[in-house]
Chains A and B, each alone.
Chain A
Amino acid sequence: MKKNFQKWSPPILMVVMAAWFFGNLQTPKDKDFAFSEFARLPLTANGRIVPMDSLARNSLLELREKQTLNTEPWKEWNEKPKIIPATEWLANVMMNPVVADDWPVFRVDNPDVISQLKLPDKGAANRTDGKHYSWNQLLPLMDKLDGENVRIQTNTVAQNRTAYENAVIKLHQRIFVYAQLKNAVLPAEAQDWPEELAAYEKLIPAGVAAAEAQQAGKTFDQPTFSQFAGFIQAFQFMSNLEPPLILPPDGTTQWRRMGDALLDAPRPKGVPIDNAVRDYAKMAGALAAHQPDAFNAALKDYQSTLVPAQSKAMTHARAEIFFNQMEPFYSAMVIYVLAGLIAIFSWFNLSETLRRCAVWLIGLSFAIHTTGLIYRMVLEGRPPVTNLYSSAIFIGWGACLLGIILEKFYKNGIGAVVSAGIGFITLIIAHHLALEGDTMEMMRAVLDTNFWLATHVVAVTTGYASTFVAGFLALIYIVRGVFTKTLDEATGKALARMIYGIVCFATLFSFVGTVLGGIWADQSWGRFWGWDPKENGALIIVLWNALILHLRWGGIIRERGLVNCAIFGNIVTSWSWFGVNMLGIGLHSYGFTDAAFKWLMLFVVSQLGFIALGLLPPRTWRSFWAPRV
């Protein structure tokens, strides 16, 4: 009985977690409006074709740092506030602003901004939780906000801004994003858009004639002219905001903005208003009038016009939606936590069953992590690392793989904790980086080369991953040695050998990656080495790893010195990964985040703290075996 339990509990636990993961894949059912179908419509945003679903999720992330909308945030969780999916929110913003503009979607958490704008306090009567506000609440304050924004943009430089100033700019940017969405499908001011569109279409011949007559200085019909000019002005406003391009190509045109299409219709060689424009108007009308059947019918009509010309875009959009719903990195993160806790526990009671449970779970989350990584690569048609976000995903993946290999050799639960620990931390970092917006943005011309992305970038990030693995192993050594009695001589020696091997591996990859970066630079602008901050950061990692190896070979450091040096490697790597981007100079500074600086400093201080612990005399360590110095 006991034997069976020991044998079967790890796979059973894995199957349970796998079932949880697959359960999340199910698409929620639509009640009345077919929003899940609407989510699949393709459009062009950020220079690439995305489904409505991605636009909705990315926009919500940008506005309120979540992928869903809580429409009643003033209620506690046990009062069951109404939470709606991203697409339902987006459909209403784009086509039914009367409702959407009342939803508290703008996250404002800087107290100075709240008091400067005199935003209302938390309360059901104020319809806010003191953190999230609606378009209608912010609209009267727009002049004040605009003024502050202009003042800050003209009088300060990006690097020296205070938290308040950054918060003002961020809120202003969020409002702009929202305004773009409001004007993507119809003029935000429209009262009854299907009606108005029909009126505009009918007016075009007369309106053009009136405008031409007015230009030529002849007599013209004043009411027709004014009405026509009113339309043009509204459409011009839509176009100027440069919202996403929602109208698909129809053979002669590329992807177009709704505003541009409406402006183009009256032009001599313009494309007349087509069914796509009308179908969107029908959807808008039905949504505003709360007629689900009419909405679903118009949606179906529009979808049928997309076949076969846009089949490819639709397939791509469906694939991306599946990826969005799968949320592989979130699921992997949850399972990593569970596995890591189980593995740490196994150190204390030395239970082989627990260790095996952890390993099985890590196998599952690594499989999910890998699936997500490959799915992203296929969606983008790119190597794994294209920006800061994907570098976090990849570093976690690489570190996890190394941990699994270590676990396979040593079977002592240490590799498992490394896998789970770094996997979890990097995915958390990735989650926060995703708040910046679309994580699959297009590559600038100079970066647009899969060859170098696949070689230089992958090699350098593998170097980062392995340096972190060495550092993490060193942390385990210190923590177990100083605070517990579990670090016996064999474990200590095994850890030191792992660290040494991983440092060798890290030296190889960071060196090759760094030099390949130089060669890429030589290919791009004829300069092998330019002392750019990111290049220097990578160089420091190479030098540091080389230094550790030479210190070890020369016998200048031994086991504990190696451990402390490896922890310092964490600082060096995090500096290269994030720190240099915060200097705000150089060709590589693409990923600056404000809060990141605080976290980086915290991380550096914590690592220095561990090194200090590592320097404590061996007799103060709790492990009975005093490590050799």
Chain B
Amino acid sequence: MLIKKIVGFFKSLKLTVTLLAFAIVLVFVGTIAQADEGLYIAQSHYFRQWVVIGANFFGHHIPLILPGGYLIGTLLLVNLVVAHIYRFQLSTKKIGIMLAHSGVILLLVGQLATDMLARELQMNFTEGETRNYSDSTSEYEVIFVNASEVTAIPAKLLQAGDKLKIDSLPFAVRLKSFFKNSDLNFRAPMMQNAPPAVNNGVARNFDFTPAPEVKTTDQKNIPTAIIELSGPVGSSGDWVVSDWMNDAKGVEFIQNNYTKLLGAGMAQKIAAQLAVPQTIEMDGKKFTFSLRPTRIYQPYSLTLLKATHTIYAGTDIPKDFRSRVRIDNPQTGEKREVEISMNHPLRYGGYTYYQYQMGAGESAQMAGVTPFSVLQVVRNPSWLTPYIGCAMVGLGLVIQFMYHLVGFVSKRKKK
């Protein structure tokens, strides 16, 4: 009896209608909220969520409780599947509807799978450089380098706050704090500074302070961590490691900010201090350490041969971004050149490489920068599901509506 009731609930059209209505409200609220919260936070607040509590509406906080994207999606999926099982009948009259709904099921399952399995990485290289790894866009690792030996500890592992002892390191590592996004400031000697956050390395000259997380897709969080390293004889103090110290972004930032104030030479000198590697000596071994985006290695490498960026004559509207890349795969002996451009990604080795950002063309030439290219690297095992799902729904609806239309037209003709 109870089972019948439960089944009855899950196969009912009323449930479908209610879920669709809630979905509309949720998507609307989650879209408006992006103006206040930014795309990423809104995504996790409304769509990648079971229950939504409270919403932002043009700067006002509204107390409400809504089913989140996960809940609606899952219930809709159950509703569809149960209804299909109980109402299934093979007839030409229903075949279109069946096909369309199966397509919707595939889309929902595919998106759920994407949400769990997809991974977004980036590959950032200048012309002539070769990469056999991609950088994570959201995860970071603390690395210790001794000669050629690299020990990488994912920052995720450290976040518990416990001490972590690894065999290849003669000291234990402990995470004291982690800022998902941080600001960088120079500690000018003559200024009234608060005492430095820690007394070692780069932190003596620079302040790293927590900052609010970024809101738009064009910006990126720059995390900073404070770690404590302690050997057998006790702590060797706290250190700051930061993503600001990678690439040239921190150096450029400081140069740009202080050139006006202190002159180009002085600014360059200050900025150079940011690039000095931090080291610690223990057991007669010297370790250089830093925080960097987690690297995912591939058994093949890509070399950027040429980055091209063209614009329409007399404007700054971008016309084309294009990277010429060589694939080297020692496993298969493959060695070939491919072009990656907007809307023409490279699919290789289970990953897809998309043209993402670029510093090339006239503007890069003028700034004296070696042309570089950033590829978005995505691994998504379920990438095909939307293609198939879309075709199924489209075809299903066409069949269904044609069936009705033909009936309607012939009926009117008879009149």
User: Would A522 and B386 be within 8 Å (CB), given that A546-B20, A580-B31 are in contact?
Assistant: yes
Can you offer 8 A-B residue contacts whose CB atoms are under 8 A?
Answer: A501-B408, A505-B401, A511-B397, A512-B393, A518-B390, A523-B343, A556-B14, A583-B31
Measured in the bound complex, the distance between the Cα atoms of B47 and A512 in whole Å is 22
Q: Name A514's closest neighbour in chain B (CB-CB).
A: B390
B206 at the interface (CB under 8 A from A): no
Measured in the bound complex, the distance between the Cα atoms of B34 and A584 in whole Å is 10
Q: Which of B16-50 contact A (CB under 8 A)?
A: 16-17, 20-21, 23-24, 27-28, 30-32, 34-35, 38-39, 42-43, 47
Residues of the B chain whose Cβ atoms lie less than 8 Å from the Cβ of A553: 13
Residues of the B chain whose Cβ atoms lie less than 8 Å from the Cβ of A544: 24
Q: Name A452's closest neighbour in chain B (CB-CB).
A: B343
The 6 closest A-B pairs by CB, nearest first: A47-B312, A526-B378, A515-B390, A554-B13, A47-B315, A547-B20
**A508 and B314 form a contact (CB under 8 A):** no
**A444 and B314 form a contact (CB under 8 A):** no
**Contact bitstring A441-472, B, C-beta under 8 A = 1, else 0:** 11011101100100000000000000000000
B107 at the interface (CB under 8 A from A): yes
User: Would A442 and B217 be within 8 Å (CB), given that A519-B390, A526-B352, A585-B34 are in contact?
Assistant: no
A445 → chain B closest CB, angstroms: 4
**B28 and A531 form a contact (CB under 8 A):** no
**B390 and A516 form a contact (CB under 8 A):** yes
**A583 and B314 form a contact (CB under 8 A):** no
**B386 and A528 form a contact (CB under 8 A):** yes
Chain A, interface size category, equals 35 or more
Measured in the bound complex, the distance between the Cα atoms of B376 and A556 in whole Å is 47
Stretch at the interface among A6-14, A87-95, A533-541: A533-541
B253 at the interface (CB under 8 A from A): no
A426 at the interface (CB under 8 A from B): no
Q: Contacting B30 at CB < 8 Å: which of A522, A523, A531?
A: A531
**B30 and A543 form a contact (CB under 8 A):** no
Q: Tell which of A45, A519, A536 has the most Cβ of chain B within 10 Å.
A: A536
**A44 and B34 form a contact (CB under 8 A):** no
B354 at the interface (CB under 8 A from A): yes
B136 → chain A closest CB, angstroms: 14
Q: Name A518's closest neighbour in chain B (CB-CB).
A: B386
**Contact bitstring B373-405, A, C-beta under 8 A = 1, else 0:** 000111010010011011001100110110011
Q: Contacting B313 at CB < 8 Å: which of A47, A159, A441, A445?
A: A47
Q: Contacting B389 at CB < 8 Å: which of A244, A515, A546, A583?
A: A515
**B43 and A515 form a contact (CB under 8 A):** no
Q: Contacting A540 at CB < 8 Å: which of B27, B39, B111, B345?
A: B27
**Interface residues in chain B, defined as those with a beta carbon under 8 Å from any beta carbon in chain A:** 13-14, 16-17, 20-21, 23-24, 27-28, 30-32, 34-35, 38-39, 42-43, 47, 107, 111, 114, 120, 216-217, 311-315, 317-321, 342-343, 345, 352, 354, 356, 376-378, 380, 383, 386-387, 389-390, 393-394, 397-398, 400-401, 404-405, 408-409, 412
**B13 and A508 form a contact (CB under 8 A):** no
Q: Name A505's closest neighbour in chain B (CB-CB).
A: B401
Number of A-B contacts (CB under 8 A): 162
A103 → chain B closest CB, angstroms: 26
Measured in the bound complex, the distance between the Cα atoms of B314 and A48 in whole Å is 9
**B39 and A585 form a contact (CB under 8 A):** yes
Binding site of B, secondary structure by majority: helix, strand, loop or mixed?
helix
Residues of the B chain whose Cβ atoms lie less than 8 Å from the Cβ of A519: 386-387, 390
A613 at the interface (CB under 8 A from B): no
Q: Contacting B318 at CB < 8 Å: which of A409, A441, A445, A529?
A: A445
B396 → chain A closest CB, angstroms: 9
A390 at the interface (CB under 8 A from B): no
**B17 and A524 form a contact (CB under 8 A):** no
User: Would A44 and B42 be within 8 Å (CB), given that A528-B383, A584-B35 are in contact?
Assistant: no
A551 at the interface (CB under 8 A from B): yes
Residues of the B chain whose Cβ atoms lie less than 8 Å from the Cβ of A532: 39
Measured in the bound complex, the distance between the Cα atoms of B28 and A187 in whole Å is 53
Q: Name B398's closest neighbour in chain A (CB-CB).
A: A508
**B342 and A556 form a contact (CB under 8 A):** no
Measured in the bound complex, the distance between the Cα atoms of B15 and A556 in whole Å is 12
A601 at the interface (CB under 8 A from B): no
**A254 and B107 form a contact (CB under 8 A):** no
Q: Tell which of A441, A446, A531, A539 has the most Cβ of chain B within 10 Å.
A: A531
Q: Contacting B24 at CB < 8 Å: which of A441, A540, A585?
A: A540
**A449 and B313 form a contact (CB under 8 A):** no
Residues of the A chain whose Cβ atoms lie less than 8 Å from the Cβ of B20: 543, 546-547, 550
**A244 and B314 form a contact (CB under 8 A):** yes
**Interface residues in chain A, defined as those with a beta carbon under 8 Å from any beta carbon in chain B:** 44-48, 159, 242, 244-245, 254-255, 257, 409, 441-442, 444-446, 448-449, 452, 501, 504-505, 507-508, 511-512, 515-516, 518-520, 522-533, 536-537, 539-540, 543-544, 546-547, 550-551, 553-554, 556, 580, 583-587
Residues of the B chain whose Cβ atoms lie less than 8 Å from the Cβ of A580: 31
Residues of the A chain whose Cβ atoms lie less than 8 Å from the Cβ of B14: 554, 556
Residues of the B chain whose Cβ atoms lie less than 8 Å from the Cβ of A536: 27-28, 30-31
Residues of the A chain whose Cβ atoms lie less than 8 Å from the Cβ of B412: 409
Q: Name A497's closest neighbour in chain B (CB-CB).
A: B408
B370 → chain A closest CB, angstroms: 21
A538 → chain B closest CB, angstroms: 10
Q: Name A551's closest neighbour in chain B (CB-CB).
A: B17
Residues of the B chain whose Cβ atoms lie less than 8 Å from the Cβ of A44: 313-314
User: Would A255 and B313 be within 8 Å (CB), given that A523-B345, A550-B17, A580-B31 are in contact?
Assistant: yes
**B354 and A526 form a contact (CB under 8 A):** yes
Residues of the A chain whose Cβ atoms lie less than 8 Å from the Cβ of B42: 531
Measured in the bound complex, the distance between the Cα atoms of B398 and A531 in whole Å is 27
Measured in the bound complex, the distance between the Cα atoms of B31 and A537 in whole Å is 8
Q: 6 more A-B contacts (CB under 8 A) besides A448-B320, A536-B30? A: A525-B356, A525-B376, A526-B376, A543-B23, A556-B14, A580-B31
**B345 and A445 form a contact (CB under 8 A):** no
Q: Name A528's closest neighbour in chain B (CB-CB).
A: B386
User: Would A445 and B342 be within 8 Å (CB), given that A522-B386, A543-B24, A586-B39 are in contact?
Assistant: yes
User: Would A531 and B43 be within 8 Å (CB), given that A45-B314, A47-B315 are in contact?
Assistant: yes
Residues of the A chain whose Cβ atoms lie less than 8 Å from the Cβ of B319: 47, 442, 445, 448
**B342 and A242 form a contact (CB under 8 A):** no
Residues of the A chain whose Cβ atoms lie less than 8 Å from the Cβ of B354: 524-526
Measured in the bound complex, the distance between the Cα atoms of B316 and A442 in whole Å is 11
B98 → chain A closest CB, angstroms: 14
Residues of the A chain whose Cβ atoms lie less than 8 Å from the Cβ of B380: 526
Q: Name A451's closest neighbour in chain B (CB-CB).
A: B343
**B28 and A540 form a contact (CB under 8 A):** yes
B137 → chain A closest CB, angstroms: 11
B268 → chain A closest CB, angstroms: 28
Residues of the B chain whose Cβ atoms lie less than 8 Å from the Cβ of A518: 386, 390
Measured in the bound complex, the distance between the Cα atoms of B312 and A45 in whole Å is 10
Residues of the A chain whose Cβ atoms lie less than 8 Å from the Cβ of B389: 515
Q: Contacting B314 at CB < 8 Å: which of A257, A452, A515, A556?
A: A257
User: Would A446 and B342 be within 8 Å (CB), given that A255-B314, A501-B408 are in contact?
Assistant: yes
B45 → chain A closest CB, angstroms: 11
Measured in the bound complex, the distance between the Cα atoms of B378 and A528 in whole Å is 11
Measured in the bound complex, the distance between the Cα atoms of B318 and A442 in whole Å is 9
**A442 and B317 form a contact (CB under 8 A):** yes
Q: Tell which of A48, A547, A580 has the most Cβ of chain B within 10 Å.
A: A547
Q: Name B215's closest neighbour in chain A (CB-CB).
A: A585
B261 → chain A closest CB, angstroms: 19
Q: Name B31's closest neighbour in chain A (CB-CB).
A: A536
Q: Contacting A245 at CB < 8 Å: which of B114, B313, B404?
A: B313
Q: Name B351's closest neighbour in chain A (CB-CB).
A: A526
Residues of the A chain whose Cβ atoms lie less than 8 Å from the Cβ of B39: 530-532, 585-586
**A556 and B17 form a contact (CB under 8 A):** yes
B99 → chain A closest CB, angstroms: 13
**B217 and A529 form a contact (CB under 8 A):** no
Q: Name A504's closest neighbour in chain B (CB-CB).
A: B401
Q: Contacting A528 at CB < 8 Å: which of B32, B114, B397?
A: B114
Q: Contacting A526 at CB < 8 Å: which of B216, B317, B345?
A: B345
Q: Name B389's closest neighbour in chain A (CB-CB).
A: A515
